[in-house]
Amino acid sequence: MRRVNRGRKERIALTLNGRKTAGDAEPRMLLSDFLRHTLGATGTHVGCEHGVCGCCTVTIDGAAVRSCLTLAVQAEGREVRTVESLAGADGKLNKLQAAFQKHHALQCGFCTPGILMSFTDYLARNPKPTEDELREVLSGHICRCTGYAGIMAALKEAAGLGGTDKADQ
């Protein structure tokens, strides 16, 4: 474990979206701020800064985490993925992103990166979820625009459950 001195910047080296990178951060700097302001990964949004809204969700070593509750120093040497990692190198949307586009599952789009990152992790661990399980994971995200119907339709399609929400039937 490395020793961290207050008031000094620490060099944080990590793998971001498949590429090794590094930047300087004060010991108390949040990962969300480090990603956005130091490394330029602005797809990570910051909403409530209390871990409630889910906008800042990224994955660390494959597990979804709230980057507003994680210190940048905690990402040292780890693999961090943000929404920028989801589309292919050619810009082609992945299955989850394409389902969001098809079902108009966003309006302002502020919450979308966090939802996409949470479900990238969740569907990798649980490729055959039930609709209720999808709703449970989605309950960790706040969207002020959509009413969630389009989001649920997209999640269901990406999970292989069809693309309609039971509330719409």
The number of folded domains in the chain is 2
**Does residue 89 lie in a domain region?**
no
Residues 76 and 99 in one domain: no
**Does residue 1 lie in a domain region?**
no
Residues 36 and 78 in one domain: yes
Which structural domain, as residue segments, surrounds residue 159?
95-168
Residue by residue, pLDDT tens for the chain (169 residues) are 566 556 689 999 999 999 999 999 999 999 999 999 999 999 999 988 888 899 999 999 999 999 999 999 999 999 999 999 999 999 999 999 999 999 999 888 899 999 999 999 999 999 999 999 999 999 999 998 888 999 999 999 999 997 665 555 4
Residue for token digits 């905690």?
74
Neighbours of 1 (CB within 10 A): 3
Question: What pTM was computed for the model?
Answer: 0.89
Residues 57 and 67: their CA atoms lie apart, in Å, by 6
Edge-to-edge strands, sheet with 79-81? 19-25, 10-16, 79-81, 57-60, 63-66
CATH number of the domain within which 123 lies: 1.10.150.120
Written as six digits, the tokens of 79 are 């693999």
Q: Which parts of the chain are beta strand (E)? A: 10-16, 19-25, 57-60, 63-66, 79-81
